Structure 1
Amino acid sequence: MKICFFSPYSTYHALLIAYFMSGKQTESYLKKVLRLNEKQAKSDIYAAYKTDKLMTQLLARGAPYEFTNANKIYVSDVVPVRDCVVNDFLEELESKNFKQDPEGSRLDINNWVENTTHHMIKDLLPSGAIDQATDLVLVNAAYFKGIWEQKFNPNLTKQEVFYVNPAKQIMVDMMHVEETFKHDASEVLGAHILEMPYKGDNISMYILLPPFASTEDSIEATLKKLTLENFKSIVENDRLVSKTILESVGVGNLFKDDADFSSLTPKKISVGRGIHKARIDVNEHGTQAAAATAIFSWRMMMDEPVKFICNRPFIYIIYNAKTHTIFFIGVFRYPPKV
């Protein structure tokens, strides 16, 4: 794979909506994998969700960057929905005629995702993903557009060598900027780390650049050590996600026939799989990134100038230090057109 890119934030929120709709054992599985406080009642977690949603909207209004996060609960019009869900998720809930018009419903959902992500994520649900047996589709769409605090000069962008591996070198367009950035070398992660802030003082892109070793894949070695705890300890002193991956982190019976969605409806329904798509565009001006997830049935300053040259595979993370949230994370191995 040339580029691996996804949004933990989008995936988390899709599973969070699944948690609110679930009951009994399924609810217990999701509460654990989402690392929610075991002592907190679902009503308290719902209140925190609504507060977070409101704060995200308020902060976005005056920010120099754009960030939106939206959830949708698409339910078949033949499924009886509990009154509490109708009242509590008025903005998220939408009835769909899956049985008589599955293709039209699929196109409607894809259009909502595309519009919410400013046309970055298209065709989230492939043809045939929704059929007459579909009862429920849970969707999250996240979008971010930031402007570099220190922009790159487009006139300095030029072709330079990118070392894919010791045996392969290619020419790529390399951007250049000479400014003061926070930089560190982490022995824990086995990589040099550079923080590139966006305007607004809360969100930054972190570049993790492992050493270029000829005997092992340095990217893989860093990824094995890259946990949220390790990352936060350094920066402060988050169509890849599939059913198989979600099951491996402990969602239990979410995708099985015995999944419990009794908080949503008294009718017996289940979900079949998850789809995640993400995209990022980076240029001299800034970054535009988006992601959508669907679950459905069916630090230190250096005294001397340092050159930080991303001319080999690296990891990149878009992180909000104020909310301690990883919006997007990816691995760049070499340009996709090569």
Structure 2
Amino acid sequence: MSAVSSSNTAFALELFRTLSQADSVGNIFISPLSISSALAMVYLGAKGVTAAQMAQALSFSSGEGVHADFQKLNADINSPSASYILKLANRLYGENTAHFLPDFLEATQKYYQADLKTVDFIGAPEACRAAINSWVEQQTENKIKDLLKPGTVDTDTRLALVNAVYFKGNWKNPFKEANTKEMPFKIKQNETVPVQMMYQRKKLPYNYIADHDLQILELPYVGEELSMFILLPKESSDGSGPLLKLEKELTQERLNEWTDR
């Protein structure tokens, strides 16, 4: 695992922990790599105390070639594969009357393949928002629409750093559509909703962690280069929140150990 992959995982877990504490009721769906990629481009233009604080928040160790590592990671992610589609796209949208340092623009292009698109934030912020959303939609095969909600850019916006991730893969062990059936899905201690659940009976990579009463299932994609991991803590009869315990105690080392075949 490269230094930047390690940093990204540490940041992802910390971010997830922070968000789950802030929003204890709702579901959370995030792409930590998108966030760390965009913030790494910001970090590229930061100096002094700001740079030091960003490095700390993003778990970057100071003085390392963070951006060269990101360049390699981006290249690895975007390298063509016969068994899946995975791509990461970055772009800068800058106010056309603002002056950005050429060194910064050259570096974002070199390390993040992010070109600068000049737009009129001052005169037409809504049109700029629509243009950014349209680019993201295009990069994600029309899956992510309206990334930026109304009001997220305005006449004071000078620079928007945008990242889009797209993935499409087929399961190594596909779920048969005929086996999908309606089953109860528990959303709270005493509340369930009926949902369409996929079903298969198969021998798959699995782990049980007794300390956390935790089941871990690996669902590999075709080619087995990539997998989805599902972590399911057993619900306690007293409702004492095993998920909260897991969220608090999840570390990179534990995750690596638990998902090691």
**TM > 0.5:** yes
Q: Distance in 1 between matches of 2:60 and 2:188?
A: 41
- C-alpha spacing 1:197/1:76, structure 2 compared with 1 (3 Å): same
User: 1:198 aligned to 216, 221, 236, which one?
Assistant: 221
> 2:51 pairs with 27, 31, 50, which one?
27
Indicate the SS of the match to 2:201. Answer: coil
Structure 2 portions without partners, runs of 5+: 1-24
Partner Cα separation in structure 2 for residue 102 and residue 164 of structure 1: 39
Query: Which residue pairs with 2:68 in the alignment?
Result: 47
Q: Equivalent residue for 2:153?
A: 130
CA distance in 1, matches of 2:136, 2:174: 30
CA distance in 1, matches of 2:119, 2:140: 21
Q: What residue number does 1:161 align with?
A: 184
Query: How far apart, CA to CA, are the structure 2 residues paired with 1:232 and 1:160?
Result: 32
Q: Could you tell me which residue of structure 2 aligns to residue 70 of structure 1?
A: 89
- Aligned-residue offset at 1:206: 1.0
Deviations 1:185-241 (A, max 9, x none): 1135431111111112121111111112231222222222222222112113xxxxx
In angstroms, what is the RMSD of aligned CA positions? 1.9
Quick check: 1:183–1:192 contact (8 Å CA) kept in 2?
yes
The residue that corresponds to 2:256 in the other structure is: 232
Deviation at residue 103 of structure 1 after TM alignment: 1.2
TM value normalised by structure 1: 0.64
Which residue of structure 2 lines up, in the alignment, with residue 114 of structure 1?
137
The count of corresponding residues between Structure 1 and Structure 2 is 232
Distance 1:67 1:165, change over 3 A: same
Select which of 73, 77, 86 maps to 1:56.
Answer: 77
Percent identity over the alignment is 30
Quick check: 1:65–1:147 contact (8 Å CA) kept in 2?
A: yes
* Secondary structure at 1:209 match in 2: strand
Give the ranges of 4+ consecutive aligned residues of structure 1 lying more than 4 Å apart after TM superposition.
none
1:148 aligned residue: 171
What is the correspondence of 1:1-338 to structure 2 with a 5 Å cutoff?
1=25, 3-40=27-64, 44-58=65-79, 61-90=80-109, 91-92=113-114, 93-215=116-238, 216-236=240-260, 299=261
Cα distance change, pair 3–97 in 1 and its aligned pair in 2 (3 A): same
Look up the SS of the partner of 2:50 in the other structure.
helix
Does the CA-based 8 Å contact 1:189-1:226 persist in structure 2?
no
Q: TM-score, normalised by structure 2?
A: 0.82
Specify the SS of the correspondent of 2:222.
Answer: coil
Residues 86-119 of structure 1 show CA distances to partners (whole Å, capped at 9, x for unaligned) of 3333441222211112111111111111111222
2:14 corresponds in structure 1 to none
More strand by share: 1
Q: 1:157 to 1:23 in 2, by over 3 A?
A: same
CA contact (8 A) 2:40 2:67 kept: no
- Please say if residues 188 and 225 of structure 1, whose CA atoms lie closer than 8 Å, have aligned partners that are also in contact: no
* Residue 169 to residue 131, structure 1, CA distance change in 2 (3 Å): closer
